[in-house]
Structures are given as structure tokens and as C-alpha cells.
Amino acid sequence: MSVPTGADIEALCSKCGDVWHVVVAKVGEDIVRVICKECGAQHRYRNPKGITPPRRSSSSTSSPPRSPRAHAVVQRFDTPAVAADLSKPARTYKATERFAVGERVEHPTFGTGVVESVELSKMTVFFAVGRKVLVMAKATEASGGLSRPKPFEHKPAGPPPDAKAGESTEE
């Protein structure tokens, strides 16, 4: 006997423990999702009697068992690539400041780390939780970075470049 969508059915609710539900979704003849009539929770169908129908194979031919996929090796580093400058205290991280390679940085989320590399406006920092790329202040003109161009001076327009001197256009 097939149970249509929208029909009442017994299913165990994990939220309130009630058994009366309404069928919401089916795949073929199998009931997949139900809504609890007591609390309104929507969940997958669980037969209260614990009887589960045997799973049908999607293909009639038997296929060989799959071999497990090879997982990529995760490369972990236990120490930073550069030595930390322990003579100076760790500086609190601020995106508006610049940092140098080897400086220690105190980040509010990641903890204390060591600056491994510095680019124009970002740095790679080694923390105990892993490497993180953080923003920092851009390089100033004195440190060889880019600067804002000077404003363009507007001059009054002269005669067009193709006009000949002394000619008049009136006849």
C-alpha cells in the first residue's frame, strides 16, 4: 500500500517525541521527509517500529568495490620559516601599522605569531594555528613604495594645433 504525500503517518520526532506526522517528500515509494503535527519540526522519516526497508540498488549489474581515494598529504610546519626577534616585545596587530620580517605580532584572534614575509600592503604571519595573511599599512614614499601622483595643472587653451598663424577665416 502506497502512502501519498500529505497523508498522516507514524514517525518518531526527535524534538518532541510525538509520533504523528504528515508526509512532505517521497523518493519513488520511499518516504523521505515528514513534519511533526505537534511541534512543527521537519526532519527525515524515521519508522517508529525500527523497520527499515532494504535499499534497492540503482543498477542491476554488480560493480566492483571502489578503492578508497588517496588523500592529499597535508604539509604541516611546527616552526616558522624565520627566527623571531626575541629582544623586542610582541607588538599588538593593527592594520594601520607596518611590520618587519622576524617581528613578533600579538593578534586578538590567532595569538602571538612571527612575521615571515612582507609585501606592499600584506604580510604572512606564522601562528600556532597556522599561517595567516594579514593586511598592514602601505609602504610610504620614503620606504620606496607607491605614492599619490601630483595634481595636474590646467593651462588656458590656446589656438588649435592645426591653425596657421595670421590666417583669418572670414572672406
> Per DSSP, what are the bridge partners of residue 112?
106
What does the domain layout of the chain look like in residue ranges?
8-44, 91-142
Q: Is the pLDDT of residue 159 over 60?
A: yes
What is the mean predicted confidence (pLDDT) over 139-165? 68
Q: Is the pLDDT of residue 141 over 80?
A: no
What is the mean predicted confidence (pLDDT) over 124-149? 77
User: What's the rounded Cα separation, in Å, for the pair 124 and 82?
Assistant: 11
Amino acid (one-letter) located at 34: V
| DSSP string for 87-133 | TSPPEEP-TTS---TT-EEEETTTEEEEEEEE-SSEEEEEETTEEEE
User: What's the rounded Cα separation, in Å, for the pair 170 and 158?
Assistant: 20
Band of pLDDT at residue 11, cut at 50, 70 and 90: confident
pLDDT number for residue 16 = 77
pLDDT averaged over every residue in the chain: 77
User: What's the rounded Cα separation, in Å, for the pair 119 and 148?
Assistant: 19
Question: What tens digit of pLDDT does each residue of 38-84 get?
Answer: 888 888 777 766 665 555 555 555 666 666 666 655 555 677 778 88
| Residue whose C-alpha cell is 604541516 | 76
